[in-house]
Structure 1
Amino acid sequence: MKEIDELINQLEANIEFENLTDLTISKVAVGWHIDHSLKVLNGVIAVLKNSNPEEYKKKFNLMKELIFLLGFIPRGKAKAPKAVRSFEIITKEDLLSQVATAKKSSTEIQNLNSKSFFKHPHFNDLNLKETLYFLKLHTKHHLKIIDDIKKGSK
């Protein structure tokens, strides 16, 4: 879980840039990308912890296989589900609270059954290993956008 912890630390380090925007890169500010990434991390880990491994169903999914093979998520191809989008003002305090939750949750992953799973809206059931890989890809995707916003707003 070391890599997940490092990604959480990178999100936390970018909180100071929460209000930066560059509309040529993204329609939303850095804070939105941090908030979204943390909502995904915290939400998905909660689903993993509460899943019933006996209900896991492995099913081939071409889109998942391509994204996992490429090792990155293309920009602008998917819309975040409402559950992981923020429609309110994002505060620094809220981001820090979500970071604390993510750090605590990431320590609990190692104790989960390998067939703990998350039902992804496009990829179907992802087992623990696949879910962790997805979380890394997803968080890196948003960290790249954050870096591009920071470069573009100078």
Structure 2
Amino acid sequence: MRKLLLILGQLEFHIPNYEKTNLAVSQSTIGWQIDHSLIVINAVVQELKNSSPKNYRWKFNKMRLLIKIVNKIPRGKVRVPKSVKPIDTAKMEELKNKLEFARKNIADISTLPPNSYFTHPFFGDLNLKATIWFLKLHTKHHLKIIEDIVKTS
């Protein structure tokens, strides 16, 4: 959980730049990237909490294996599901509140059974360990986009 909390700290560092954008990098602002990342973390942890560990079944998934091998999410290949797509542009205070909620949720992860799971639209069911891997990978993906926006603006 420590690494995930460190990544959250990096997101927090960029909150003051939430209005910045660079269309050469992304159509979205830094605030959108942060907001989306936090929505995903909070929604996924909620799904973990609500899951029934006895129902978890591991299945081979070619796409998950490929992404695990390269340890990178390709840019611009997937559309954001509506359930985790920010609707409005979040303001600084909203981002800070979502960040604190994400920190609390990440702390709660350590109390969950190992076969708590969430269902990813492409990777299928991910147990607790795989979910933590996904959350780090996904958040780092958006953090890299943020850093590229900052770097080129």
- Normalising by structure 1, we get a TM-score of 0.97
Q: For residues 25-44 of structure 1, give each alpha carbon's deviation from its aligned partner in whole angstroms, at most 9, with x where no partner exists.
A: 00010000000000001110
Q: Distance in 2 between matches of 1:107 and 1:89?
A: 27
CA positional deviation for 1:80: 1.0
RMSD, matched Cα: 0.7
Percent sequence identity over aligned pairs: 47
Alignment of 1:11-90 (within 5 A): 11-90=11-90
CA positional deviation for 1:93: 1.1
Contact 2:53 2:113 in 1 (8 A): yes
Q: Distance in 1 between matches of 2:152 and 2:39?
A: 25
Stretches of 4+ moved more than 3 A in 1? none
- Normalising by structure 2, we get a TM-score of 0.98
Q: Which sections of structure 1, spanning at least 5 residues, go unmatched?
A: none
Q: For residues 10-61 of structure 1, give each alpha carbon's deviation from its aligned partner in whole angstroms, at most 9, with x where no partner exists.
A: 1111100101110000001000000000000111011111110011121111
- What code does the residue aligned with 2:86 have? S
Q: Which residue of 1 aligns with 2:145?
A: 145
Contact 2:31 2:89 in 1 (8 A): no
Q: Distance in 1 between matches of 2:86 and 2:111?
A: 30
Q: For residues 67-86 of structure 1, give each alpha carbon's deviation from its aligned partner in whole angstroms, at most 9, with x where no partner exists.
A: 01111101011111111111
- What code does the residue aligned with 2:65 have? E
How many matched pairs?
153
